[in-house]
Amino acid sequence: RSKRRGRGQITVYSSEIALEMKRATQLEQTLRNAIIADAVDVHFQPIVRISDGAPAGFEALARWIDKDLGFVSPAVFVPLAEERGFIDTLSETLLRKAAEAALSWPRDLFLSFNLSSAQLMDPGTTPNILSILRRVGLDPNRLELEITETAVMTNADTAHRIIEDLRAAGIRISLDDFGTGQSSLGRLRDFTFDKVKIDRAFVSRISTDRASEHIIRAIITMCDGLDLSVVAEGIETDVEASMLKALGCRYGQGYLFGKPVDAAATLAYLERHNMEIRHIDRLG
Ligand code: C2E
Ligand code: MG
Ligand code: MG
Ligand code: MG
């Protein structure tokens, strides 16, 4: 009897998996079409100097609103594109759009772009990125690539080589979601990074949880010693910002300073901050 029930459960379970796979395949097709139709967009969120709120750069974040599905989170469609093997196509489109937008920003502002873990295993990544930058005309010195600890550790040798190539070309590397991934501090020593982004999980608890405060303090001390720049992610309140400032964290990102907005709204944001917009001759 229990056997029969067991079998029944397996049947139910596998039909759920089948349904799930069918949904993923439908979503994959919809996403592929959206990329072709140029319907996947990129938004920008300011990364600011905490002391005075001045923008230092922007992180590009993928945005896709489907006419039937509505808003689909990049936390859903980026991993899907990775699994189904077209993250390079998606990422190329996004980087091109982001780099084109960055041409209009003041020259001292950087563009930060998320690299997926699959891209960190693909030797074609560096030449692809450099050729996009060349075509668009964005200086590699203005680009930062955000990678996660887990992505670095998954295929450490290949990742190491790609990171070195990118840095040799003048691109900076920042370690995203720091503190949440699977890494050992010892292994991190083998890689060269320029920046560390403290995950929102610690930042959002800084005012209520002493442990989070201590962890953030330790990360900042470590980064100071290693000459790494530090950004705190997901700052939503003045209290969080002032605590981070007191701990010596120089840069921050979060809804307190600005939500991700499209390219046009990003220019309006820069104007509000009295920053000169560069007018690009698009035909030139
Ligand atoms: P991430 O790179 O860690 O990006 C930060 C996420 O935190 C973004 O979510 C951003 O909108 C959100 N965020 C920023 N400030 C706040 C805040 O104050 N409060 C809260 N609650 N959230 C805040 P988003 O845009 O949904 O992106 C999710 C993740 O998807 C990103 O995490 C990144 O891993 C991935 N992603 C987004 N765009 C791209 C892309 O173009 N390429 C790749 N490979 N991954 C991307
Ligand atoms: Mg990021
Ligand atoms: Mg992050
Ligand atoms: Mg994240």
| CA–CA separation, 127 and 6 (whole Å) | 52
7-32 pLDDT per residue, tens: 556 666 788 888 888 888 999 999 99
Could you identify the residue written with the tokens 């993250």? 87
Please tell me the predicted confidence (pLDDT) of residue 283: 43
Q: Longest C-alpha distance within the chain, in Å?
A: 76
Please tell me the predicted confidence (pLDDT) of residue 10: 61
**Mean pLDDT value across residues 122-143:** 97
Non-local (6+) Cβ contacts of 96 within 8 A are 132, 135, 136
Is residue 188 scored above 80 in pLDDT?
Answer: no
Could you identify the residue written with the tokens 């990118």? 166
Give the ligand 1 atom nearest the CA of 148: 34
Please tell me the predicted confidence (pLDDT) of residue 139: 98
**Mean pLDDT value across residues 92-99:** 98
Is residue 135 scored above 80 in pLDDT?
Answer: yes
pTM: 0.93
Is residue 189 scored above 90 in pLDDT?
Answer: no
Lining ligand 1 with CB less than 6 A are 45, 60-62, 73-75, 78, 91, 94, 114-116, 146, 176-177, 234-236, 253-255, 260
| CA–CA separation, 249 and 251 (whole Å) | 6
Is residue 236 scored above 60 in pLDDT?
Answer: yes
| CA–CA separation, 203 and 19 (whole Å) | 38
Query: CA angle at residue 150 from 125 to 186, to 5 degrees?
Result: 110
Please tell me the predicted confidence (pLDDT) of residue 284: 38
| CA–CA separation, 116 and 31 (whole Å) | 17
Give the ligand 1 atom nearest the CA of 115: 44
CA of 83 to the centre of ligand 2 (A): 19
Give nearest CA residue, ligand 1 atom 28.
Answer: 75
Q: Are 152 and 196 in contact (CB under 8 A)?
A: no
Query: Which string of b and e fits 215-244 if b means at least 16 CB within 10 Å?
Result: bbeebbeebeeeebbbbbbbbeeeebbebb
Q: Are 181 and 147 in contact (CB under 8 A)?
A: no
Token representation of residue 187: 């292994």
Give nearest CA residue, ligand 1 atom 45.
Answer: 114
Could you report how far apart the first and last alpha carbons of the chain are, in Å?
A: 76
Q: Are 32 and 77 in contact (CB under 8 A)?
A: no
CA of 178 to the centre of ligand 3 (A): 8
Could you identify the residue written with the tokens 């139910």? 12
Give nearest CA residue, ligand 1 atom 8.
Answer: 61
Which one-letter amino acid corresponds to residue 218? A
Give the helix/strand (H/E) hosting 159.
Answer: helix 156-168
